[in-house]
Amino acid sequence: MIRETVDTSRTPPTWASFLRDWDRSLRAADHPATTRYNYLLAATQLCGFLRTFGHARSDAGRDPLAVTKADIERFQVWMIETRSASTALNKHKSLQQFFSWLVAEEELDVSPLARVRQPRKRKKLIPIIGEDETRKVLAACDRRTFAGARDEAIIRMFVNTGARLSEVADLTLDDIDMSLDTALYHGKGAKDRKVRFGPKTGRALSRYIRMRALHRGAPLPSLWLAEKGAAHLSDNGIQMMLRRRGKAAGVEHLHAHRWRHTYAHEWKRAGGDTGDLMVVLGWSSDEMPRHYGASAAAERAQETQARLRIGEDV
């Protein structure tokens, strides 16, 4: 769902003016609300950093056209030291978009990021979720209650389809076809795709939809409703729900993306076609299957190593 607007009330007038124009351009290009939020947040954070830690003789904290390569590099170092290399990389990519837009608008001749290297992100194997852990989380949902039925349906959608958090959160009633057992996901880059869900997920959805029809928020188009009042359940609300359910089930670090990794893991471990996996999960880059399938590749390698017994017979 749409995130809050980035607060630019304390941003200097010139920065605020450029950010407002950039946001208008992003809206015109139909960029998703979450993408616009993250882009604008990165630019606002750079501005705040330069105002706090910038050189006294520099205008960069007041005017983005004065930002230099050195400013960007100092900002990236600060991000790595105070957040993480992964966060610094995300900020780098967002700022690339901002300064490329300034070049396209002929406000700048060259982007200050043109010769700035991207932060190197350490590649980690995302821990998958075992079936036993998923069963424990589902068992923590009392399907006799509205919240329990809703949460079971949400969790089964993650488990059964490998969807992104935003894709599940943005579902509407019209996106669910209970006759064909399909869901229409609205993916990144305005790419829609239809996926099938299984019988258990179908039953969980039916149960929830029947309860939803009696809910105060039933007229709303959003599929997922907050427990109280006539309001939708946002992606942030789903995140908080998963943390609560995980804590109740004794499953640490529970978040939706782990099921997406698990889905790719199980698909690759079963010998599924990579091209088909890309279609199902809404990927357009060949890099994604390699990243998401890394845990499955590591497990297959360990199984092969145990079977071959190399060096054990000497």
DSSP 62-93: T-GGG--HHHHHHHHHHHHHHT-HHHHHHHHH
CA 293/CA 288 separation, integer angstroms: 8
Q: 0.75 cut: is pTM over it?
A: no
Instruction: Give the pLDDT confidence of 138-183 residue by residue, as tens digits.
Output: 999 999 999 999 999 999 999 999 999 999 999 999 999 999 999 9
CA atoms of 314 and 294, how far apart (whole Å): 31
**Which helix (H) or strand (E) is 193 found in, with range?**
strand 191-196
Mean pLDDT of 230-256: 94
Q: Per residue in 45-70, is it b (16+ CB within 10 Å) or e — as a string?
A: bbbebbeeebeeeeebbbbbeebeee
Q: Pick the more confident residue, 191 or 12.
A: 12
Query: What does the DSSP 8-state code read for residue 123?
Result: P
Structure-token pair, residue 246: 């995980």
Report d(CA 54, CA 52) in Å as an integer.
6
Helix and strand totals (H; E) in the chain: 13, 3
Around Cβ 12, how many Cβ atoms within 10 Å? 16
Q: What is the pLDDT of residue 293?
A: 65
- What's the mean pLDDT when you consider all of the chain? 90
CB atoms within 10 A of CB 216: 12
pLDDT at residue 310 in the model: 79
Check residues 188 and 159 and name the one with the higher pLDDT.
Answer: 159
In Å, what is the CA distance from 115 to each residue of 66, 94, 97? 16, 16, 15
Q: What is the token pair recorded at 188?
A: 């990144």
Q: Look at residue 32 and tell me whether its pLDDT is greater than 90.
A: no
**pLDDT tens, residue by residue, 199-228:** 999 999 999 999 999 999 999 999 999 999
The predicted model gives 274-296 an average pLDDT of 78
- 199 or 283, higher pLDDT: 199
Confidence class of residue 2 from pLDDT cuts 50, 70 and 90?
A: very low
Helix, strand, coil tally for the chain in percent (to 5): 60, 5, 35
Round to whole Å and give the CA distance between 21 and 34: 17
pLDDT of 254 strictly over 70: yes
pLDDT above 60 (res 1): no
Top pLDDT among 84 and 67 is at: 67
pLDDT at residue 240 in the model = 95
Residue-level pLDDT at 188: 77
